[in-house]
Amino acid sequence: MLYRVEGIVIRSMDYGEGNKIITLCTKSHGKVGVLVRGAKKVRSRHAAATQLFTYGEYVFFRGMGHIGTLNSCEILEGHHTLREQLHLAAYASYAAELVDRALQDEEAGGAMFDQLHAYLEALEAGKDAQVTTHLLEMKLWQRTGVGPQLYACVSCGREDELAGVGWRLGGALCRACLMREHDQYKAGPAMLTLLRQFEKTDLRRLGNVTLKPETKLRLRAFMRGYMDTHVGVRLKSQQFLDQMEKYDLANLDE
């Protein structure tokens, strides 16, 4: 059967001497794998279509197997900037791997495609890469059902007197429970407000977001701690991104 899909390349790997297999996050068919014959050859007309973060209209044939074979591709956005600038490449690679791990093959992925597409455009437009990435993480957590509880205390269940959040416990904490949590794992009401805003924000309508350096440090600590504790996904791209973020954050005031 012949398929025509809008897709973003979230993984690209060599296959055999001259071929590549790409994984697409698509608007209509979730996550799909496509074999691109001859993509590694110097004069391949499909080489550009296999680059990470490329957004295009892919036409491929698939029989009974899970992997299709590319017939043609019209590139809609190449996102060259995201591959040429090291810090943008690090964030975009992390996001692509995160979406790849979150989506199952053939799973309905229209909403996630829209958020990833908007995310890549936001990076290319110069919006804060760290904050935008945390927004995408929140969208993925919401979609997969592992997001933090932000409207009731995760410890006692009360909905009033919420005074902050604790990433070890997984969300909002009332005044009494927050006092019993270790300082290393908690943040105050400003962080709870910020996370609620993140939960409601659609990346397709994202304006300019500016946070103070100390707020970004606390946000990063919460998001990383929450992911390690409650999501349990450790990505290959995350170690490099963590090191780079520490360097960037340490020099924000220079």
Domain boundaries, the chain: 1-78, 80-253
> What mean pLDDT do residues 148-168 have?
96
Same fold, 1-78 and 80-253: no
Q: What is the pLDDT of residues 100-136, one digit of tens each?
A: 988 877 666 688 899 999 999 999 999 999 999 999 9
pLDDT of residue 253: 40
pLDDT of residue 248: 64
Mean pLDDT of the chain: 91
CATH topology (fold) of 1-78: OB fold (Dihydrolipoamide Acetyltransferase, E2P) (2.40.50)
Task: Work out the pLDDT band at 239, boundaries 50, 70, 90.
Answer: confident
Cα separations in angstroms, 244 against 28, 86, 90, 181, 239: 34, 10, 8, 30, 9
Task: Work out the pLDDT band at 252, boundaries 50, 70, 90.
Answer: very low
pLDDT of residue 108: 60
> What mean pLDDT do residues 215-222 have?
93
- End-to-end CA distance of the chain: give it in Å, rounded: 56
Token pair of 223 as six digits: 């998001």
Whether pLDDT at 69 is above 80: yes
What homologous superfamily is domain 80-253 in, according to CATH?
A: Recombination protein O, C-terminal domain (1.20.1440.120)
> What mean pLDDT do residues 177-183 have?
94
> What mean pLDDT do residues 55-80 have?
92
Cα separations in angstroms, 118 against 46, 196, 207, 212: 24, 20, 12, 24
**Of all residues in the chain, what percent carry a pLDDT higher than 70?**
95
Q: At a CB cut-off of 8 Å and minimum separation 6, what does 250 contact?
A: none
pLDDT of residue 107: 65
Whether pLDDT at 254 is above 60: no
> pTM higher than 0.95, yes or no?
no
